[in-house]
A and B are shown apart, each in its own frame.
Chain A
Amino acid sequence: MIHRKTPGTVAANVVIYFLLGFFALLCLYPFWYLVIFTFSDPGEALKGVSFWFRGFSFYNVEQVLRLQGIDRALLNSVLRTVLGTGITVFCCTFLGYLFSKQEMPGRRFFYRAVIITMYVSGGLIPTYLIYRSYGLTNNFLVYILPGAVSAYNMILVKTFVEQLPPALEEAAMIDGASYLRVFFQVIIPLSIPIIATIAIFSAVGQWNSWFDNHIYNTNSPPLMTLQYQLYKFLNEAQRLAALLKEGNIKDVEAAVTQQLTPKGVRVTTTLFAAVPIFLVYPFMQRYFIKGIMVGAVKG
């Protein structure tokens, strides 16, 4: 494109570059703050950390790792991410493959039945009451089973499998291979791009989940996840802030020394909860376009 460089376009460029850069800084700064606060010397940090480290120390990280229950919370978060992702990827891939088979009896009916779940749900409380009657309260399985078959992911796989050249599958079928064998030896290797998309988005979703922990497993400390642990720290800090506002200094001092979570622990736990996302982020970027097709796929 050839455009004259008028003063107007130069000014427009400056404004655009500035606005975009400013927004990017706003997005980056809170995360940067986590890093500089966590690794600053705690004593120095009291004077305020704003743009760069004040001293350098692993004190905060050591303190958080020493907290009771934090190892368990980390383990639970990792477990639910790994197991939950593995299971949902298998379920959605296999079911998507089965639904791609025209000869499946009742295919249209069952496929529709799965799709409808994207639009109609029981809602928060009916779902809670029914899951509770299944015994899914204080139970690790509540992190994994309800989301195992995701209609949206299943459609993605089905659409993908239907685009594959049928010749490979037919060749295997003629050689007498069963559906299962075709699925594992032909379909899976060819479907890696879509499987990777589903896996990475489910993994992020699992890692970030906390509400199921809150409503189903809140009374079960051994099932606490990292995100929920962080939420609890924040609630305590919130209480402290409210006390400060009321000017109840005595209570505040008592609270700080006894049970309330210091800022260092809070910030460091947040960093722990955010780091895995940063680590997979570069790998995720190539799947963005596929991932955003939510709603663009027809049932």
Chain B
Amino acid sequence: MSSVTPNIQIKPRKKQYQLLLMAAPFLLLVLLFSYVPLFGWSFSLFNYRPGISLLESKFVGFKYFQMFLTDKYDMYRVMKNTVIFALIGYLVSPLPMIFAIMLNEVKHAKYKKAVQTISTMPNFVSWVIVYSLMFTIFSTDGVFNDIMMNLGLISSPTNVLADKDAVYWFQTLLGQWKNLGWSSIIYLAAIAGIDQEMYEAASIDGATRFQSILHITIPSLMPTFIVLLLLSIGNFVNVGFDQYFVFKNNVTAANIEVLDLYVYRIGLMNSDYSYGVAIGIMKSFVSIALLFIANTLSKKVRGTSIV
């Protein structure tokens, strides 16, 4: 019977409204925890101070937005940090694909499985744990200095965690250490989907392994790579929070403070709520604008939207 009237079983109206009634508590949760906070944006237009209600606060219009846009020092610095992290992120974005291709070249199944299993693991521990691991290894009395000194490679202990100039590349390396294995899974899945006959045909035509990779594997992975790249455009100003938050210290603060950390410091540490909200809103608008740009690009390049 379902083939005659697919899905259009006439049900009593009462029963249909039951569905809505059952969904109501969950929709209420979404309303309370995702939509109501949007009203918090109004704080940006007032000179809100803790302890005084918003109604009694002074209306200041777009003062806080202007304040951030005309700030020569901090705004310039945190935007620079954010952009540097984002750009280095694009620079290293082919690494998961390269890692997957290399892994695919390993014909020894157990070795391949072991490398994949181990390298995916760091993705599942928190940044607090990663920080603790790195602190244990790289701090002045850590095992890194022990080993390097014993080998005579360095004469006095170093501490990369308290090195202002090392921030950008060290944090990028850490990000790769944590995420490379996990990010490569999507490429491994894509490689598994490539038609094996193409490789056989190429081999018969005398292609070397390297040529097969260059002319079959990489072109087959390009669509995946481009989708991920386009998706990441929307996140240009969201370079991550936890990582930089835990690794921030007095020495590295100036270079590691990205936009999100700055909002946290202004809003929650200094309790300058209105200013923090204003910066957060501008960030959201930039994100949404970038998402639309990425979506338009995607429609042009691939003919389908990503959102």
Contact = CB atoms under 8 A, between A and B. Distances in A.
Interface of A: 1-3, 6, 8-9, 12-13, 16-17, 19-21, 23-24, 26-28, 30-31, 33-34, 37, 48-50, 91, 94-95, 98-99, 101-106, 110, 113-114, 117, 119-131, 134, 145-146, 148-149, 151, 166-167, 170, 173, 178-180, 204, 208-211, 215, 227-228, 230-231, 234, 237-238, 241-242, 244-245, 263, 266-267, 269-270, 273-274, 277-278, 281, 284-285, 288-289, 292, 295, 299
B132 A148 contact: no
Contacts of A127: 37, 40
Interface stretch (B55-63, B76-84, B85-93, B103-111): B103-111
B120 A288 contact: yes
Given A124-B260, A204-B124, A273-B125, 19 more contacts: A1-B199, A17-B111, A23-B99, A26-B177, A27-B177, A31-B133, A33-B143, A119-B307, A120-B284, A122-B41, A123-B280, A130-B40, A131-B33, A166-B6, A173-B9, A211-B242, A234-B131, A237-B139, A295-B231
Contacts of A238: 135, 249
B248 to A, nearest CB: 10
A124 B263 contact: yes
Contact of B159 (A121, A122, A227, A241): A241
B207 to A, nearest CB: 9
Contact of B209 (A9, A131, A151, A244): A9
A33 B136 contact: yes
A273 B129 contact: yes
Contacts of B185: 288-289, 292
Contact of B119 (A24, A99, A263): A24
B254 interface: no
B161 to A, nearest CB: 8
Contacts of B124: 204, 208, 277, 281, 284
Given A16-B105, A130-B37, A241-B139, A124 B267 contact: yes
Interface residue SS majority, chain B: helix
B126 A273 contact: yes
B32 interface: yes
A129 B140 contact: no
B288 A237 contact: no
A53 to B, nearest CB: 14
Interface stretch (B10-18, B67-75, B164-172): B10-18
Interface string B201-227: 001000011101000000000000000
A17 B106 CA distance: 7
A12 B11 CA distance: 66
6 contacts: A16-B102, A27-B181, A231-B246, A242-B250, A266-B135, A295-B231
A104 B9 contact: no
List the 4 shortest-distance A-B pairs measured between CB atoms, nearest first.
A126-B40, A122-B37, A123-B280, A208-B126
A23 B115 contact: yes
Contacts of A244: 140
Contacts of B103: 20
Main secondary structure of the interface of A (DSSP, over half): helix
B180 A23 contact: yes
B277 interface: yes
B153 interface: no
Contacts of B15: 179
A19 B102 contact: yes
B117 A30 contact: no
Given A120-B284, A125-B40, A125-B268, A267 B273 contact: no
A200 to B, nearest CB: 10
Interface in B1-57: 1-2, 6-9, 11, 15-20, 22-23, 26-27, 29-30, 32-41, 43
A175 B234 CA distance: 49
B136 A270 contact: yes
A245 B251 CA distance: 11
Nearest to A228: B128
A266 B177 contact: no
A124 B280 contact: yes
Given A17-B106, A273-B129, A128 B268 contact: yes
Contact of B27 (A34, A49, A110): A110
Contacts of A91: 26, 29
